[in-house]
Amino acid sequence: MSTRADLLRAAAARLDAAGVPGAAGDARALLRWASGLSAAGFSVGLSDPAAPEEAARFEAAVSAREARRPVSQIIGKREFWGRDFIVTEDVLDPRPETETLIDAALQGPAPKRILDLGLGSGCILLTLLAEWPGAMGVGVDASAAALDIARRNAAALGLEARADLRLGDWATGIDGPFDLVVSNPPYIAEDEMPGLSPEVRDWEPRMALTPGGDGLSPYRILGAEAPRLLAPGGRVLLECGAGQAEAVAGMLAEAGLGGVRVHRDMDGRGRCVEGRAP
């Protein structure tokens, strides 16, 4: 019977040969998940034999990763802002750069009402509701499957009573006022899609990645809707892609919002654009 260390070495070599970036780290994450052990228990148990059920679970996971399925989809979760969120192929994998939006939001006053357009897994809205216990939130997504994941995440975090999650088309049928409007819309330009990593291009929902064209059409909608949705002095925070911040900032200013500013991510890229209602 192979030890966990034996399985780990073999899996890392397989993933590396398949061109998987970070092969050794992914193999370790998948084996720890397959083992069901804590971080400490896994570290001290590497020299122990793996039970047949564990080895079979790990083999299936490694095969999925060889096919470039994201680790988060294989294990079914991703940590975001210190909390675990359920992740499937129906939602975007919560990314560290999206925490730029969370950080920017928390720099402002605590809102009473929050609106999240393009809810996905719910990681943005639910994180903000968890950080602001006095807030209520409305989340909208055009995907029924994504909405189901967001509802499961709300229940897992004990936030369902404060999160009104709806199927819809951006802000159609949504009435303000909201103290904070947030969104991480699809923003990848159509001609950039072929160049994405297989983990993103082949496994994440296309409708959450690209709106087609130049990638900016959601911001034209969000910029036009923000003034009617925001309470006086309310804020809007929009995540955007590399090189898009200036254009998005211009749209918010053109819509009559003030205090327009760009928040940069850990790599120094303009990642989130903020505007404020008069």
The tens digit of pLDDT for each residue in 158-211 reads 999 999 999 999 999 999 899 999 999 999 999 999 999 999 999 999 999 999
Does residue 28 sit in the same domain as residue 113?
no
Of residues 265, 255, 264, 266, the one with CA closest to residue 275: 255
Residue at token pair 């059920």: 53
Whether residues 112 and 238 share a domain: the answer is yes
Position 55 confidence tier, pLDDT thresholds 50, 70, 90: very high
How sure is the predictor about 230, in pLDDT bands with cuts at 50, 70 and 90?
very high
The whole model's pTM is what? 0.95
Decide if 134 is inside a domain: yes
Examine the pLDDT at 1 and tell me if it is beyond 80. no
**Is there a domain that residue 77 lies in?**
no
**Domain stops at, among 13, 37, 67:** 67
In a domain, 29, yes or no: yes
* Domain carrying residue 42: 4-67
Residue 121 Cα distances to 54, 91, 117, angstroms: 28, 6, 12
Q: Do 131 and 236 lie in a common domain? A: yes
**H helix or E strand, kind and range, residue 248:** helix 245-254
Question: What whole-number distance in Å separates Cα of residue 136 and Cα of residue 183?
Answer: 16
pLDDT tens-digit readout, 140-153: 999 999 999 999 99
Based on the structure, what is the number of domains in the chain? 2
Share of the chain above pLDDT 90, in %: 99
Does any domain span residue 266? Answer: yes
